Structure 1
Amino acid sequence: MNTLVPAAITDIASRLASSAIKKYWQPPDAEVILETLSRLLLRVHIIIEEAEGKRLANEGMLLQLQMLIEGMYRGNYLLDRFKYPALQEDTKEVSYVSLSSKFNPAKRLCFSSHRKPLFSSSLKELQGIIATIEKGISDMTEFVVFLRNYRVVHDQPRYTYSVLENCIFGRQIEQEQVLSFLLQTDHLGDEDLAVLPIIGPRKCGKSTLVEHACRDHRVRNHYSSILFFRENNLKDVNMSNLREYAVVKHQNYSSSKRLLIIIELACDICEQTWVSLKSLMSCSAPGTKIIITSRSNEIESLGTTAALRLDLLHPEAYWYLFKTLAFGSRDTDEHPRLASIAMEIAAEYRGSFLAAYIIAGLLRDNFSALFWCSALKHLRAYVRSQLRLLGDHPNNLLRKDQSVHCLRFAEASYPLWMSNYYETDSCPDRAPNISDIMLGGDTPRGRFEVLGWKSRMAPYYSYMICCTTEAPGHAVCRKHS
């Protein structure tokens, strides 16, 4: 009995305390949370812009920067998801959260009743990312100090629309790792060649990353020749006609005789071919290096250094890219309905770079709620039909070189199939543009190629798509080397 009384008193006291907390404690003000996150993101944005204007070489600093960038993507994604809730497909009605700020006092925060069930969990997510970013910023104190000692590479901020199409989005850390490998002067020995494997799924940016690094002036001064091989160019290669089978990306007669060999594979490489190639390269000057890219994990064993792995952009980073491309220099807070639609469209494309540039370009050129709503409606119907017909998402099928229907925003008298999209140094004359076809423009009959998108950054590739209006099957078009 003596032990039960204190226990009962403790239980009653805890219940009273809990009741008092529920009665008098109020959740944090949502407006304050959103403004806090917005200000933190602005600080992070400034640090990242400053860092991306410098040529960083320290691995620890690069890791810190990568963590901060990921926090920025995550923070922006959660903030936008909260401000621009998903459209209700049946009513197409939505309520918006406009961020109040002393920079724009006209904006006010307002919530509708149907968002209350989501309100508590959303605030917890926002508070969690605020804590993460605050810790990230506090850990960057020494980083910011050290940053002053690094040479400025470019003066223009990278995270604006005017320069986004001219940079490798989300790949700065990987680019610095490639440059560090290429410019490292200590050698493994005369009998060994330094080999860097780069592994990743199709169209995740492997070739663009390598090309961009090879265009760095320090790399071009470091190597006498930069030779590029595709898989089918490696057969019967010998030292006497090495350049005959390669694309010469760079020639520098004033530098040493060391070579940089770039090999682009779809999967694995024949062991005999690899042994022969390494034997040929052993005759070149010390410091010759090889970069080999592939979708296969098997090439990891060929490396003399840890493999660099790339993946498709995660949803938070992809939304940042898609939003910037779709809105350009426009303020998304001034167009909350369009921002909600854009989030839905970006989610449907699952990290496809090519889709981001094609579809975001169409949205930017047709900046109206009517067109954007229609585009989302057609896209959802298109994805559902492809899943029902072919059993997989069209982006996944295209990465496997399988045929899918072309998305159209206008009625068409006959279906158009696409497959086997690839990059080439030059666009064929008079090739139709995929955007025009999607909007209802004239479509050729039979088998043909269309221009998907032309890059504004090195290597300035034109991304071509093989199409056919014939019976379903794989459109076979020639690839350009």
Structure 2
Amino acid sequence: MAIGEIFLGSFFQVLFDKLTSLTLDYAQREGISKALDEWKVMLETINAVLDGAEDKQLRGDRLVKQWLDDVRDLAYDMEDLLDEFDIEATQAKLNAESSTSRGQLKRKFSFFNQSSSHVSETKVQEINGRLEKILNRKAHLSLRENVVDRSNDTNKRLPSTSLPELQFFGREEEEAQVLELLISDVQNSDATLSIVPIVGMGGVGKTALAQRLYNDPRVNNCFERRAWVCVSDVFDVLDITKTILQSISKWPCKDKDLNWLQVKLKNELSGKKFLMVLDDVWNEKYGEWTSLLKPFEAGAKGSKIIITTRNRPVASITGASPYPLKELSINSCTSLLAYHALGARNFERHPEFETIGKKIAERCRGLPLAAKMLGGALRNKRNPYEWEDTLNNRIWDLPTAQKDEVLPVLKLSYVHLPSYLKRCFAYCAVFPKDYEIERDELVLIWIAEGFIDGRNAKDNILRSRRNHFDELVSRSFL
């Protein structure tokens, strides 16, 4: 299942932009102008249910998947036709300007009224018919508008806890480095509070590392107060504060306002050295972050907050240097796969699976979550041929129970992208697997496709538009 098949909504904005622009150019051509207006209305109706449809597709609804495939095909054909309209409109403008420059009577866009129009009216009617059929099928599929939001994606994921994984592989160096950051005081600093942002892509093991550190006896001995909060999608200052206060005190917090909660939390932390873990943070709003931190300033020097996040911009609002978490080594992925598939740390007692197991581990690309889910899918398979079948399938082809655990983790990253970055990232699905993409080549393609406006750049277009690429890198997409 390609990214382009799942996240169709990002492409619709391109169509809306083209329709808006062309409607103005075709103001004098009544038939085409009316069709463009109708298309925009129908596309807006389809776009309103795309989130719900994509969500149903992820759950395995084949009828919805076919509907989305048809919507995608129609969108591409519509874009091709709009490009033809654009060429015709541009030619008409050039003709009008040429006529005016020769002193002839200016007939604005009279070119549109000629019977030799390059765009067939039949194509317009065909698009209309396909749009109407898609809208009719929408009703039969029970697709409703605006039924999926970010919090729904969050609810599909099991909230994290402070309890660590039963087995932990390949993070000894990272664990030692972050542990040193936690238990050592910052030199030459008067700051009471230090932030330790652990940054990495979804599924790379940020939460597992934080859990390991949170339960380390040396950490327990270093801090008087500890609390763990799974923040995830919704950064609610009141709820986060309430969770922390309930973790470190016996105060009844039901129906209390933020002021009451923060005053009590400040009193609980006053003069005490504490460790807080804020897991899976997405908030990039500086004001909400500073509001949350108000009670923490009362703690003793050496207090720490660990945040785990996929986005460097989240870490930047804290003012702290991010600790980037890279992918696991192949050997560590192999051990993790063997543990979840066979209950062993390696394949010594199962040599018949060793070769195929290492190949499957390579498919995990260093992501512990993928190794864990693949291992779980193989747990009841004791025939090497069954492991071969898994190797020849992508992780998206796992049984529904496993697939549902992986996709929400990755989809949530996409949901949080700004619309202009969604279009740019979704386009990358056209490249073959493992293709090495040249940055400047990709940026130029984005500009050519209309995903990035390259017309109004005051300086070098490439230099000014590379920030889109850099932002996708900072959000762990590229």
Task: Tell me: higher relative CO, structure 1 or 2? Use CA pairs within 8 A at least 6 residues apart.
Answer: 2
TM over 0.5: no
Whichever structure has more strand as a proportion of its residues is: 1
Please report the TM-score for the alignment, with normalisation by the length of structure 1.
0.39
